[in-house]
Amino acid sequence: MAPVNFQEPNLYQLSGHHLHVTYSTSGIDGKPHFSYQDHHQTLSFIGDQIRSVSTEIGTLVSVTIRLTVDQGGTSFSVLLPRVNLPGDHSVPIRSEGVTTLHRFSIVPSVGQLDFYTVTPLSGNAMKVVF
């Protein structure tokens, strides 16, 4: 029996609870791409607008989905699990999306400043050629 050559995915398509996310680690332009869609908005991000950090529990990919000058902003992060792909196949994955409301005030206040909403996501991880 021949050994299986595993590939790392470069495209993730996830959805859950009125939320749709697509993330590619690289595109035809050589830059990562991230699309975010919820009830109210559809947003696209490219390159430096996407923040990615590898951790022991997976890769955390974040984008800023709303930013205000005087009240703070909102970010969305998805935790991508490590995945072994057999060849160029797609495999199902489950993950979590975290929407974070970042409070900001000109006058410093006491208390929690970040508030989280966690959304279970499911979809596919795959290897594609750009």
Q: What is the pLDDT of residue 59?
A: 98
In a domain, 71, yes or no: yes
Domain membership flag for residue 1: no
Rounded Cα–Cα distance for residues 110 and 13 (Å): 39
Q: Which DSSP symbol is given to 106? A: S
Residue 103 counted as domain residue? yes
What is the pLDDT at residue 1?
Answer: 65
Q: What's the chain's average pLDDT?
A: 92
User: Domains in the chain: how many in total?
Assistant: 1
pLDDT (average), residues 78-107: 90
111 in the Ramachandran plot: left (φ > 0), alpha (ψ -120 to 50) or beta? Answer: left
pTM: 0.90
The pLDDT, as a whole number, for residue 126 is 96
Q: What is the pLDDT of residues 7-52, one digit of tens each?
A: 899 999 999 999 999 999 999 999 999 999 999 999 999 999 999 9
In a domain, 91, yes or no: yes
Calculate ∠ Cα 92-52-22, nearest 5°. 40
Q: Quick one: what percent of the chain has pLDDT higher than 90?
A: 77
Check: CB of residue 49 under 8 Å from CB of residue 63: yes
Find out whether 71 and 113 touch, Cβ atoms under 8 Å.
Answer: no
pLDDT average, residue stretch 97-119: 88
**3-class SS of residue 30:** coil
* Residue 93 near residue 14, CB atoms below 8 Å: yes
Q: Which range of residues forms the domain containing residue 37?
A: 6-126
